[in-house]
Amino acid sequence: MTTASPDCYCVMGNPIAHSLSPHIHTQFAQLTGQAMAYDRLLAPLDGFAATAQAFFAEGGRGCNITVPFKLEAARLADETSERVQLAGACNTLVRRADGRLFGDNTDGLGLMADITQGAGWALAGQRVLLIGAGGAGAGVLGPLLAERPAEVVVANRTVATAEDLVARHGPLSARLGVPLGACGLAGAPLAQAFDVVLNASSSSLAGAASPVAASVIGPRTLVVDLMYGQAARAFLDWAAAHGAHTRDGLGMLVEQAAEAFALWRGVRPPTAPVLQALRAQAG
């Protein structure tokens, strides 16, 4: 009697040793009874496409993509979701039965799930500030608009980058009836408080407290950093000192992984026990 080998998945990036994805997906597989193996795969900075193609040629079924390869992953896919087309970035690849690669971006879906379900914070009718118009910000803007907030402002150090991101999402925002604007990090729209502030900028990687003034925070503002752990600490400490409710990106990490898992396996895993265990490990 022989036992079939588990389906193979991975997370690909550079660096990659720090990734929690193998732990998360292993827990998902156990909770849902799925036969799958999941590992980290380091891709050379100049060899992402070749590494990914080799992985799939050897039987890989799906792959998560992390920095700095999300833009390249979008170009590598044979077909992409509307989320990838709007963001220009892909964090999930799946090999179809015909061998073609389908690319999706689950980051925004994960963030919205963590805010609305994990934090229990409704986004509909809220004024939202999105700080950062790079890959992280681009990945969450579409799903954010789908929550139908009252308004979204994208603030970025380079205003032209924010304006380009807003322009790409213009038809979607118009279709949903959600006002969408762009400004610099000291723009006039930031003079008053927002209901929700999302930090998708690179400031946390540099350990900076905040790229914007405290005027964006009111007594009932929810502030979320897309980073987690020590990387998010300075920004969230700054926000808490100004009276905000704060949340890091660990829940987003787990929820976006669940979206990828569902795309691959057709089963959406429970996220609460996995997130609870990760927070307990982090102390």
- Asked if 92 and 152 touch (Cβ cutoff 8 Å), the reply is no
Give the residue-averaged pLDDT of 103-129: 97
Catalytic residues: 70
Distances (CA, A) of 264 to 86, 100, 193, 277: 22, 14, 40, 23
Check the annotation: does 66 bind a ligand. yes
Check the annotation: does 228 bind a ligand. yes
Check the annotation: does 192 bind a ligand. no
Nearest to 195 by CA among 120, 125, 110, 108: 125
Dihedral sign of CA atoms 226, 232, 238, 244 in order: positive
* Helix, strand or coil, per DSSP, at residue 19: coil
Check the annotation: does 13 bind a ligand. no
% residues pLDDT > 90 (the chain): 91
Enumerate the CATH 3.40.50.720 domain ranges in the chain, comma separated.
120-247
Check the annotation: does 46 bind a ligand. no
Enumerate the CATH 3.40.50.10860 domain ranges in the chain, comma separated.
7-104+252-282
pLDDT at res. 194: 98
pLDDT single digits (tens) 170-223:
999 999 999 999 999 999 999 999 999 999 998 876 777 789 999 999 999 999
pLDDT single digits (tens) 258-274:
999 999 999 999 999 99
Q: What homologous superfamily is domain 7-104+252-282 in, according to CATH?
A: Leucine Dehydrogenase, chain A, domain 1 (3.40.50.10860)
> Pairing relation of β-strands 92-95 and 151-155?
unpaired
pLDDT single digits (tens) 33-84:
999 999 999 999 999 999 999 999 999 999 999 989 999 999 999 999 999 9
Check the annotation: does 20 bind a ligand. yes
Give the residue-averaged pLDDT of 156-165: 97
The pTM of this model reads 0.94
Q: What kind of architecture, by CATH, is found in domain 120-247?
A: 3-Layer(aba) Sandwich (3.40)
Check the annotation: does 38 bind a ligand. no
Q: Evaluate if residue 3 carries a pLDDT over 60.
A: no
Q: Which residue has tokens 């990687």? A: 205
- Amino acid letter, 232: A
Contacts of 152 (CB under 8 A, 6+ apart): 128, 129, 130, 141, 144, 145, 173, 178, 179, 180, 181
> How big, in percent rounded to 5, are the helix, strand and coil portions of the chain?
45, 20, 35
pLDDT at res. 203: 81
CA distance 168 to 170: 6
Mean pLDDT for the chain overall: 95
